[in-house]
Amino acid sequence: MSKKWIISPPPPTDFLNEHPELPPAVARLMYNRNLRTQEQIDEFLNPDYSQDIHDPFLFNDMEKAVKIIFDAITTNKNIVVHGDYDADGVTASTIIISCLKKLGCKNVSVFLPHRETDGYGLNLNTVKALKEKGTDLIITCDCGVSNTPEVTLAKELGMQVIVTDHHSIPAQTPPADAIIHPKMPNEKYPDKTLCGGAVAFKLIQALLQTHKKTNEFLSDGQTHEAFEKWQLDLVAIASIGDMVPLLGESRTLTRYGLTVINKTKNIGLRKLMFVAGILDENGQLKKGAIDAGTVGFQIVPRINAAGRMDHANVAFELLMCEDENEAETLAWALNQNNLDRQKLTENLVAQAIKQVKETNQENNSAIFVLGEGWPTGILGLIAGRLKDMYYKPAMAMGLNRGEITASGRSIAEFNLIAAIQNNPEFFAKFGGHPQACGFTLKSLDMLEGLKKRLNEVAAEQTKNIELVPQINIDAEVDLDDINWELYDLLQKFEPFGMNNEEPTYVARGLTITGISPVGQDGKHLKISLKHNSQVVRKTIGFGLGDCNRHPDDWKNNLHVGDKIDMAFCIEANEWNGTRELQMTIEDIKKSDH
Q: Report residue 30 CA to chain centroid gap.
A: 23
Last residue of some domain: 436, 461, 486? 461
Q: List, in sequence order, every residue forming a beta bridge with 525; answer none if it has no partner.
A: 517, 541
Minimal CA–CA distance to 79: which of 91, 65, 89?
65
Provide the domain limits for residue 31.
7-36
Quickly list H helices, 53-190. 62-74, 87-102, 124-132, 148-156
Q: Are 76 and 207 in a shared domain?
A: yes
Q: How far is CA 444 from CA 288, 426, 441, 450, 457, in A?
A: 51, 10, 7, 10, 21
Residue 192 lies in a domain: yes
d(CA 487, CA 475): 14
How many Cα atoms occupy the beta-carbon half-sphere of 239 within 13 Å? 34
Question: Which residues in 389-407 are b (16+ Cβ under 10 Å) and which e?
Answer: bbbbbbbbbbbbeeebbbb
What lies within 8 Å, CB to CB, of 55 at 6+ separation is none
Same domain, 321 and 212: no
Query: Which helix (H) or strand (E) covers residue 516, if one does?
Result: strand 505-518
Task: Quote the CA–CA distance of 440 and 118 in Å, as a whole number.
Answer: 11
CATH number for the domain spanning 242: value is 3.90.1640.30
Beta bridge partners of 517: 525
How far apart, in whole angstroms, are the C-alpha atoms of residue 220 and residue 227?
A: 10
DSSP letters for 369-413: EEEET--HHHHHHHHHHHHHHH-S-EEEEEEETTEEEEEEE--TT
d(CA 507, CA 495): 24
pLDDT value at position 573?
Answer: 81
Q: Is residue 137 part of a domain?
A: yes
CB neighbourhood size of 94 (10 A): 29
Which of 345, 369, 392 terminates a domain? The answer is: 345
Specify the pLDDT at position 580. 85
pLDDT of 115 reads 81
- Total count of domains within the chain: 5
Instruction: Tell me whether residue 47 is in a domain.
Output: no
Domain identity same for 245 and 115? yes
- The answer to whether the CB of 168 falls within 8 A of the CB of 193 is no
In whole angstroms, give the CA distance from residue 73 to residue 77: 6
Tell me the one-letter amino acid at 228.
Answer: E
112, 117, 120, 121: CA torsion to nearest 10 = -60
Short-list 557, 563, 582, CA closest to 572: 582
The answer on 246 and 292 residing in a single domain is no
> What dihedral angle (degrees, nearest 10) is formed by the CA atoms of 481, 485, 486, 487?
120
- Of the three residues 261, 280, 298, the one that is the final residue of a domain is 261
Pairwise CA distance, residues 367 & 361, whole Å: 6
Shared domain check, 175 and 101? yes
- DSSP label at 569? E
Instruction: Note whether residue 478 is domain-resident.
Output: yes
Is residue 522 in a domain?
yes
Cβ atoms of residues 566 and 585 within 8 Å:
yes
The verdict on 210 and 270 lying in the same domain is no
Burial per residue of 232-249, b for 16 or more beta-carbon CB atoms within 10 angstroms, e otherwise: bbbbbbbbbbbbbbbbbb
Q: Is the domain of 109 the same as that of 253?
A: yes
* pTM for this predicted structure: 0.86
Round to whole Å and give the CA distance between 135 and 128. 10
In this structure, the answer to whether residues 282 and 304 fall within a common structural domain is: yes
Q: Which DSSP helix (H) or strand (E) runs through 590?
A: strand 578-590
Same-domain pairing of 133 and 179: yes
Asked if residue 257 lies in contact with residue 236, where contact means CB atoms within 8 angstroms, the answer is: yes
Q: 503 and 569 in one domain?
A: yes
Instruction: Please indicate, yes or no, whether residues 480 and 552 belong to a single structural domain of this protein.
Output: yes
What CATH code is carried by the domain that includes residue 510? Answer: 2.40.50.460
Is 249 domain-assigned?
yes
In-domain check, residue 353: no
CA distance 133 to 5: 57
Alpha-carbon distance 351 to 333, whole Å? 27
- CATH at 446: 3.10.310.30
Helix 232-241 / helix 196-212 crossing angle, nearest 10 deg = 160
In terms of Cβ atoms closer than 10 Å to its own Cβ (0-12, 13-18, 19+), residue 514 is exposed
In the three-class reduction of DSSP (H, G, I as helix; E, B as strand; rest coil), residue 48 is classed as coil
Is residue 27 within 8 Å of residue 493, measured between CB atoms?
no
Closest residue by Cα to residue 56 from 75, 74, 69: 69
List, in sequence order, every residue forming a beta bridge with 440; answer none if it has no partner.
405, 429
Measuring CA to CA, which residue among 26, 62, 354 is closest to residue 209? Answer: 62
What are the average pLDDT values for consecutive 10-residue runs of the chain, which has 593 residues?
86 92 87 89 90 96 98 97 95 98 96 85 95 98 95 98 94 96 96 96 98 95 96 98 92 96 96 95 87 94 91 95 96 95 94 96 96 94 94 96 94 94 92 90 95 96 88 90 86 88 92 90 89 90 76 80 94 79 91 76
3-state secondary structure of 526: strand
Helix (H, G, I), strand (E, B) or coil at 431: strand
Same domain for 189 and 312?
no
527: amino acid identity, one letter: I
Q: Kindly state whether residue 351 falls inside one of the protein's structural domains.
A: no
